Amino acid sequence: MRFFIIFTIKKMHPDKLAFGSYSKGFITDVPADLTSPEALHFKNTIRRFADEAIYIYSFKENKMLYADGWEELLGYADNEISMLTIVNITAPEYAPFSNELNDKALMFLHNKFIGDEPYSFTIELKKIHKNGTPVPLISKVGVFTTEQGKVTSIIGHSQKNESIKFGNVMRYAAYGPEKSEFEEELNKQLFRYYAISEKEKDALSLVAEGYSFKEIAARFGVSQSAIEKRILPMYKRFNVKSLTHLISFAFANHILP
């Protein structure tokens, strides 16, 4: 399955939402008709886990095709949850980052021939329950259907995870056959935000364990300069002066356990 992220800003009038040039053309407020044969088919064939909500959204029809588990997770009935609602209830501290992340991910994937390539994207963030309380989630969105290599519908999974420890740094991960290109493009676009990719986090965790850049490079099967390119840009991004300071910052912001 192929994944990318769709999240943005909270509690603003739809006409004033700060969607990017790609995002704003893909989001509507139309919920799913859960009595349709298509929705009933999805209910019988798509498995949902505990503390998880699912949706299927069609870019082709500009509406939700299916929703399940949203009342239990975030207080919204399955027949009222819409794509616009989902993106609007991102906690405000995550809105600027997640809005731009969404736009750049869409831009990357909509400009590529997807086919059966397993691109993926996950993010940790907070959504706001209908009763106003924050809910920590691990969210994943995947391509459900394509036509001639272009995305036509997506399936989203959001799962509650109380064990997430949030600091000031957004955590995300990109996967796929061109993972490095995908992740590097996102990093370039999102550099001004406090954000870290899974690839950067993996390298930093080994630095914290005392491994040298050379040893880490050998472990990942890449060059030492490739590891330096993962670690050294974080000095400027997080405003730290040394490797020790970077590691301390990572622990303080729950990047590292």
Domains annotated for the chain, with CATH where assigned, are 2-162 (3.30.450.20), 196-252 (1.10.10.10)
The pLDDT, as a whole number, for residue 117 is 64
Mean of pLDDT values over 27-52 = 94
Give 110's contacts (C-beta < 8 A, 6+ positions apart): 22, 150, 151
pLDDT recorded at residue 252: 86
For residue 25, what is the DSSP state? Answer: G
Q: Which residues is 175 bridged to in the sheet?
A: 120
- pLDDT band of 22, cuts 50, 70, 90: low
The residue that leads in pLDDT, 97 or 227, is 227
Which residue has better confidence, 254 or 25? 254
**192-219 average pLDDT score:** 87
- Six token digits for residue 71: 């009342």
135: pLDDT confidence band, cut at 50, 70 and 90? very high
The pLDDT-based confidence of 208 (bands split at 50, 70, 90) is very high
pLDDT at residue 100, as a whole number: 73
Phi–psi pair at 133, nearest 5 degrees: -90, 145
Provide the terminal-to-terminal Cα distance of the chain, rounded to the nearest Å. Answer: 29
**pTM of this prediction?**
0.71
- Gap between the Cα atoms of 7 and 14, Å rounded: 14
pLDDT of residue 2: 39
Q: How does DSSP classify residue 244? A: H
